Structure 1
Amino acid sequence: MGADERERLFQRARECSGHRRTWSEADRLWTQVIDAYRQAVSGSGRVDPNDRRQLARALWRHGMLLAARGRPAEGLATGREAVTIFEQLNDAAARDATDQGRDEALAELITAVLDLAETAFAAGEPVLRMDLLDRAVAAGLRTAGPPPSAGPRTREAMGTAYHNQATALLHRCLTGTSPDEDAREAALAASRACELRQRLMDPLRPLSVWEMANTYGLYAQCLTLIRDLDRAATVLDLGNRLVELLGPAGAQPALKLRVAATMLARERASARGGTGQRRWGWRRH
């Protein structure tokens, strides 16, 4: 199969993955795409780096599709192979690529690890999820340094990494045995996600506004858990302003902000009641 034919097959599988009704077809096509790119990179001659990159991308996308179809264990194995190749591509880019090439390679690696973490959670492996989230953050910091000095795509990926890390810590806080420690760590990760996404937000890119509103909702919940109630109220207000700008497209961030508002109202009521103790009843909702 020639390079153009492989590319057309890849794009067809990608399109089918975008619609639930064609997921079965996408599953079949990704298997063909992966086989085609495996053959392309298995020869004894010079391997085109783009073929290796496309193989990694196909494995990554197939892994996510398998998880979405209720087969996360299979998706975990496929996603792990993708991450291994992305790591090799990132190492090569760090040595030889332009600044833009290094930025793209690192951002793709971070994103693939983040998606693998969510697949692990769907497969019933929350500890692995946390390990992978930590690994994604570490990869960005080790390769590019603190986010302000990283390239634009890496900063975007790191914003997602910190957001997802805060989400996982928040979940562990509400279900684990050391809620106070996890709440503090979640608030710190959410704060870092906010800082990055504030710098990246652009009214001409609605997705960046959506992501900022979504992270504000998460951060407000974390701040409420550590009883930084005044700051939680400020963040809640900022998030609600963005949701108003988004309109119907802001439904998901709006839900997260409503949860935060409920938590904040209960904490304030508890404080007025003079009990001095956190009420955890909302954990059941």
Structure 2
Amino acid sequence: MGPDERERLFEQAREHSARQDTSVEADRLWVRVIEAYREAVRGPGPVARRDQQQLARALWRYGMLLSARGRAADGMAPGGEAVALFERVNDAVAAGGGDVTASPRDDALAELITALVDLAEVSYAAGQPATRIDLLERAVVVGLTAVGSPPSAGPRTREAMGAAYHNQAVALLHRAVTRPAPGDSLREATLAASRACELRQALLDPLRPLGLWELANTYGVYAQCLALIRDFDRAAVVLALGDRLVESLGSAGEQPAEKLRAAAEMVAREKGPSVGAVGPRRWGWRRR
């Protein structure tokens, strides 16, 4: 199979993956795509970086598809192989030098971090919460090792690290609230959520609704963390910021709105009836 045919098959599989009614066909197509790129990288002579990247992307997307189809345990192997390949690509690109904030280094690093974050969520769906936390920690360390300070990274890496910190906060918060003694998990969750907010605030663009949604979602997680560490004043500020974002999103803000409402209820519960809730909460916009 030639390069153009491989690319067309990849795009066909990607398009089928985006639709629930063609997920079975997408499954079949990704198997073909992966085999085609395996053949390409096994060929004589030097391996083309594009073929290596496409194989990693195909394995990553296939692992995600299997998880979405209720086969998360089966998605661990292709997801893990994808991470290994993305590591190789990132190492090769980094060895070539260049600005870490610009393409191709920013792209390669972002893909590696994203693959680790997604594999962490596949592992959680497969019933491996400890593996999830380990992979998210690894994603954060990969980013920090490469760029030092996340705000100084390239745009794609900052987006990927925002997702890594957000998911890490969610995972650590879950561990904290499901254990009799939360220990350091709650403090770590709060710090991760704060870092996710910082990165996503800096990337905010009114013309990119997904960025608004992501930040509102992180505000909901951060407010829950703040409620549990009893930082009620800061929680009130975060809740107000989140409310403004979900109101601007309209019906698209339903999911982060649920997180914000849960956080507001948590604040009221933690403060106790003698102190009262954070303040008036208006949710009428959600019913429009």
Encode CA deviations 1:73-94: one digit per residue, 9 max, x unaligned. 1100110000000000000011
Q: Tell me the amino acid that sits aligned with residue 74 of structure 1.
A: D
Match of 1:142 in 2: 145
Encode CA deviations 1:159-214: one digit per residue, 9 max, x unaligned. 11000000000100111243252111111100000111111101111111111111
Note the C-alpha offset of 1:44: 1.9
Report whether the alignment pairs 1:170 with 2:142. Answer: no
> Which of 108, 112, 119 matches 1:109?
112
Q: Tell me the amino acid that sits aligned with residue 32 of structure 1.
A: R
* Identity, % of aligned positions: 66
Change (3 A) 1:268 1:177: closer
Match of 1:2 in 2: 2
Q: Tell me the amino acid that sits aligned with residue 238 of structure 2.
A: V
Q: Tell me the amino acid that sits aligned with residue 137 of structure 1.
A: V
Equivalenced residue count is 273
Report whether the alignment pairs 1:203 with 2:206. Answer: yes
Could you state the TM-score of these two structures normalised by the residue count of structure 2? Answer: 0.93
Match of 2:283 in 1: none
Report whether the alignment pairs 1:159 with 2:162. Answer: yes
Match of 1:185 in 2: 188
Contact 1:180–1:226, Cα closer than 8 Å, also in 2: no
Q: Using the alignment, how far apart are the partners of 2:238 and 2:41 within structure 1? A: 49
Encode CA deviations 1:111-149: one digit per residue, 9 max, x unaligned. 000000001101111111110000000000011111122
Q: Counterpart of 2:272 in 1: which secondary structure?
A: helix
Q: Which runs of 5+ in 2 are unaligned?
A: 277-288
Could you state the TM-score of these two structures normalised by the residue count of structure 1? Answer: 0.93
Structure 1 ranges of 4+ moved more than 2 A: 268-273
Encode CA deviations 1:59-107: one digit per residue, 9 max, x unaligned. 0000000111111111001100000000000000111154311100000
Trace 1:63-74 onto structure 2 (pairs within 5 A): 63-74=63-74
Q: Using the alignment, how far apart are the partners of 1:13 and 1:62 within structure 2? A: 9
Aligned-residue Cα RMSD (Å) equals 1.2
Encode CA deviations 1:215-272: one digit per residue, 9 max, x unaligned. 1011000000100011101100100000000001111111110110111111222563
Encode CA deviations 1:31-63: one digit per residue, 9 max, x unaligned. 000000000110121221100000000000000
Q: Using the alignment, how far apart are the partners of 1:164 and 1:56 within structure 2? A: 22
Match of 1:280 in 2: none
Q: Which runs of 5+ in 1 are unaligned?
A: 274-285
